[in-house]
Amino acid sequence: MDDNTTPQPDNETLGFWDQHRFMLLIAGTIVIAFILVSVSLVIYNVSGSAQLDLSRPGLKSVSGKVDRTNVVTDYSAFGPVTKDTVKTFTDAYDAQAKKAKAVDAFNGDPLNPDVLEFADPTASAE
């Protein structure tokens, strides 16, 4: 009968890294999670997604006012081109164009010191 069982190393013969493998696993996981979250946040801010996120603090008052009624059907890229199919397109296009131009977005000057009531009174008097 063969008795060649491998002897198990006791704690004293194990190196530092072997003794703390579990703690290193936890620490490594936390570090990787931190890096991934940081990268995600950078992408969130740089890509412009943050500007579309109405659930941010201060924007909750308007988050329910997003226009969900404007459902635009995809115009099919396949099929014949006839006067009727072009008319179907122009009707859909004109409707959207009208909506796009209905409001002169970002017009006016709401950041004018006069509007915000800290203008120099001497400057306006001149």
Partner 1 sequence: MKLRTRLVAFAFIAASVLSLSIVKTTAAADLSDEQLGRIKSNCLSIKGSLNQLHATDALLRVNRGQIYEAIGTKLMSNFNARLSNNSLDNKGLVAVTQSYQTAQVTFRDDYRIYEQQLSAALRIDCTKEPAALHEAIESAREKRDIVHADVLRLNQFIDDYRLAVNDFMLNFDRVTGKS
Binding site residues, partner 1, CB under 8 A: 48, 50-52, 54, 58-59, 61-62, 65-67, 70, 72-81, 83, 85-86, 89-90, 92-94, 96-97, 99-101, 103-107, 109-113, 115-122
* Dihedral (Cα; 89, 95, 99, 101), 10-degree rounding: 70
Question: Of the two residues 28 and 113, which places its CB atom closer to partner 1 in the complex?
Answer: 113
Least separation, in Å, of the C-beta of 65 and partner 1? Answer: 6
Question: Of the two residues 16 and 78, which places its CB atom closer to partner 1 in the complex?
Answer: 78
Contact between residue 116 and residue 106 where contact means Cβ atoms under 8 Å apart = no
Least separation, in Å, of the C-beta of 34 and partner 1? Answer: 24
Least separation, in Å, of the C-beta of 64 and partner 1? Answer: 10
CA-CA distances (angstroms) from residue 89 to 42, 71, 86?
40, 15, 5
CA-CA distances (angstroms) from residue 91 to 17, 53, 95, 99?
70, 32, 6, 13
